Protein backbone atom coordinates (compact mmCIF):
# COMPACT_ATOMS: atom_id res chain seq x y z
CA UNK A 1 0.00 0.00 0.00
CA UNK A 2 1.36 3.44 -0.92
CA UNK A 3 1.85 6.14 1.73
CA UNK A 4 -0.88 8.30 0.21
CA UNK A 5 -3.30 5.38 0.48
CA UNK A 6 -2.33 4.82 4.12
CA UNK A 7 -2.79 8.49 4.97
CA UNK A 8 -6.26 8.28 3.45
CA UNK A 9 -7.14 5.95 6.32
CA UNK A 10 -6.10 8.45 8.98
CA UNK A 11 -8.94 9.98 11.00
CA UNK A 12 -8.74 13.02 13.27
CA UNK A 13 -10.81 14.03 16.25
CA UNK A 14 -9.63 17.61 16.56
CA UNK A 15 -9.38 19.32 19.92
CA UNK A 16 -10.10 23.04 20.23
CA UNK A 17 -6.92 23.41 22.26
CA UNK A 18 -3.57 22.99 20.58
CA UNK A 19 -1.28 20.29 22.00
CA UNK A 20 1.69 22.05 20.39
CA UNK A 21 3.26 25.34 21.40
CA UNK A 22 6.35 27.21 20.27
CA UNK A 23 8.09 27.95 23.56
CA UNK A 24 9.87 31.12 22.45
CA UNK A 25 8.89 32.64 19.09
CA UNK A 26 11.90 34.95 19.26
CA UNK A 27 14.21 31.96 18.95
CA UNK A 28 12.57 31.05 15.65
CA UNK A 29 12.85 34.63 14.43
CA UNK A 30 16.35 35.48 15.59
CA UNK A 31 18.36 32.29 16.01
CA UNK A 32 16.96 29.58 13.76
CA UNK A 33 18.05 30.38 10.22
CA UNK A 34 17.06 27.13 8.54
CA UNK A 35 13.71 26.51 10.27
CA UNK A 36 13.97 22.74 9.83
CA UNK A 37 10.54 22.16 11.39
CA UNK A 38 9.04 23.38 8.12
CA UNK A 39 10.68 20.35 6.47
CA UNK A 40 10.91 17.47 8.95
CA UNK A 41 7.25 17.32 9.96
CA UNK A 42 5.55 14.73 7.71
CA UNK A 43 2.20 16.47 8.23
CA UNK A 44 3.50 19.95 7.38
CA UNK A 45 2.25 21.28 10.71
CA UNK A 46 4.85 24.07 10.81
CA UNK A 47 4.90 26.89 8.34
CA UNK A 48 6.88 30.12 8.38
CA UNK A 49 4.52 33.11 8.22
CA UNK A 50 6.58 35.80 6.54
CA UNK A 51 4.04 38.54 7.26
CA UNK A 52 3.78 37.84 10.97
CA UNK A 53 7.40 36.68 11.27
CA UNK A 54 6.53 33.58 13.23
CA UNK A 55 5.97 29.89 12.86
CA UNK A 56 2.31 29.09 12.26
CA UNK A 57 1.30 25.78 13.86
CA UNK A 58 -1.44 23.78 12.16
CA UNK A 59 -1.75 21.34 15.08
CA UNK A 60 -4.95 19.83 13.70
CA UNK A 61 -3.01 17.72 11.19
CA UNK A 62 -0.43 16.33 13.63
CA UNK A 63 0.21 12.62 13.07
CA UNK A 64 1.75 12.21 16.57
CA UNK A 65 5.01 10.84 15.19
CA UNK A 66 7.12 12.63 17.82
CA UNK A 67 9.75 13.90 15.38
CA UNK A 68 9.49 17.50 16.53
CA UNK A 69 10.56 16.52 20.04
CA UNK A 70 14.03 15.74 18.72
CA UNK A 71 14.04 17.67 15.45
CA UNK A 72 14.06 21.26 16.66
CA UNK A 73 17.72 22.21 17.17
CA UNK A 74 16.74 24.64 19.94
CA UNK A 75 14.30 22.39 21.81
CA UNK A 76 11.77 25.11 21.17
CA UNK A 77 8.71 23.00 20.52
CA UNK A 78 6.51 22.14 23.48
CA UNK A 79 4.69 19.04 22.23
CA UNK A 80 2.38 16.81 24.23
CA UNK A 81 -0.03 14.10 23.20
CA UNK A 82 -3.51 15.49 22.59
CA UNK A 83 -5.97 15.16 25.44
CA UNK A 84 -7.69 11.80 25.81
CA UNK A 85 -10.07 11.02 23.00
CA UNK A 86 -8.59 13.65 20.70
CA UNK A 87 -5.95 13.44 18.00
CA UNK A 88 -5.23 10.97 15.27
CA UNK A 89 -6.55 7.46 14.88
CA UNK A 90 -5.34 4.87 12.42
CA UNK A 91 -7.48 2.41 10.55
CA UNK A 92 -5.92 -0.73 9.06
CA UNK A 93 -7.92 -1.51 5.99
FE1 LIG B 1 11.54 27.52 15.77
FE2 LIG B 1 12.50 25.06 16.29
FE3 LIG B 1 11.14 25.55 14.03
FE4 LIG B 1 13.59 26.55 14.39
S5 LIG B 1 13.05 24.37 14.20
S6 LIG B 1 11.82 27.64 13.53
S7 LIG B 1 13.54 27.04 16.59
S8 LIG B 1 10.33 25.65 16.14
FE1 LIG C 1 4.67 16.93 12.92
FE2 LIG C 1 5.19 14.57 14.02
FE3 LIG C 1 5.58 16.81 15.42
FE4 LIG C 1 3.08 16.02 14.86
S5 LIG C 1 4.59 14.94 16.19
S6 LIG C 1 3.88 18.10 14.68
S7 LIG C 1 3.37 15.10 12.83
S8 LIG C 1 6.69 16.18 13.56
The tens digit of pLDDT for each residue in 18-50 reads 999 999 999 999 999 999 999 999 999 999 999
Report how far residue 93's alpha carbon sits from residue 33's, in angstroms, rounded to the nearest whole number: 41
pLDDT at 7: 75
Residue 38, helix vs strand vs coil: helix
Q: How many separate domains does the chain show?
A: 1
Q: Which domain holds residue 79?
A: 3-89
Report how far residue 27's alpha carbon sits from residue 76's, in angstroms, rounded to the nearest whole number: 8
Could you tell me if 32 and 22 are in contact, meaning their C-beta atoms sit under 8 angstroms apart? no
Rounded to the nearest whole angstrom, what is the distance from the C-alpha of residue 45 to the centroid of ligand 2? 7
Complex ipTM, two decimals? 0.98
Phi, psi for 56 (deg, rounded to 5)? -90, 135
The domain spanning residue 29 has which CATH number? 3.30.70.20
With the most atoms of ligand 2 within 8 angstroms of its CB, the residue from 18, 35, 39, 63 to mutate is 63
Q: Is the CB of 57 under 6 A from ligand 1?
A: no
Residue nearest to atom 7 of ligand 1 (CA): 28
Candidates 12, 21, 20; CA nearest to 85 is 12
Amino acid sequence: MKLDDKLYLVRFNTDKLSHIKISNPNVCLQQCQDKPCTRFCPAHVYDWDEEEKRIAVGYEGCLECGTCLIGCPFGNIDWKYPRGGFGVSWKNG
